[in-house]
Amino acid sequence: MHELDKEYKIGNSNIRPGHINWIGFWTLYKKEVLRFFIVWIQTLLSPVITSLLFLVEVTLAIIAAACTRSIFIAIIAVTAFSFFISIEIVNFFYVITFAFLGSFILGAVGFITGLWAEKFDHMASITNFLIVPLSFLSGTFYSIERLPNILQKISLINPFFYIIDGFRAGFIGTSDGSLKVGIIYLLILSFLTWFIAYYLFKKGYKIKT
């Protein structure tokens, strides 16, 4: 009998040299799959969470850095102005809360703009045609109560109104709108702007390698 025609008995099956042991293959496959599902947290969930955390840590880190820079600028500005005028903070909670929420939203918008813009003019257009108009129409230099009803309703949609109104309430103790509504509105907007930034970064929108 030729050497290749010989059969060898392994376990309860006869195996011919050069042929695949399908029973052994299936046994090993089943064992590894079962082991895979037994430790599914490490094998399935862990890689997904690690990838998501990386993207979340990157977007939040950049936005948090923008918040830190904004808050430092605010502290320096308030300190400098205090040498020339009398500044009294009535409510630190409102000052800190609205300063953080405002800087977080603007940081997220800056992140999105950085992904979208292809040149400096694009970034300047966001500032000139979005940020500046919204800030001037937010009641910074006037009370929205002096505006017609329709303009008052439009102002209540403007996030800059709540940012400035809450920040101002922390210093002088009065506000034109509801501070609770402002906090809730800005929290929702903070999450939405961050999520858009996260989604675009996750998709690699306009990111060059």
3-state SS class at 139: coil
Looking at 2-137, list the stretches that DSSP marks H as alpha helix, in order from N- to C-terminal side. Answer: 22-38, 40, 46-81, 92-116, 120-126, 132-136
Say if residue 115 is in the same domain as residue 199: yes
In a domain, 43, yes or no: no
Contact 197, 186 (CB under 8 A): no
Domain encompassing residue 124: 53-203
What is the total count of domains within the chain? 2
pTM as predicted: 0.72
Contact 94, 166 (CB under 8 A): yes
In a domain, 197, yes or no: yes
Say if residue 34 is in the same domain as residue 78: no
In a domain, 150, yes or no: yes
Looking at 117-178, list the stretches that DSSP marks H as alpha helix, in order from N- to C-terminal side. Answer: 120-126, 132-136, 149-155, 159-172
| Rounded mean pLDDT, 89-98 | 92
In a domain, 96, yes or no: yes
Say if residue 86 is in the same domain as residue 22: no
Amino acid (1-letter code) at residue 165: D
| Rounded mean pLDDT, 102-123 | 89
The pLDDT of residue 2: 44
pLDDT digit string (tens) for 22-74?
777 777 877 777 766 666 556 566 666 666 667 778 888 889 998 998 889 88
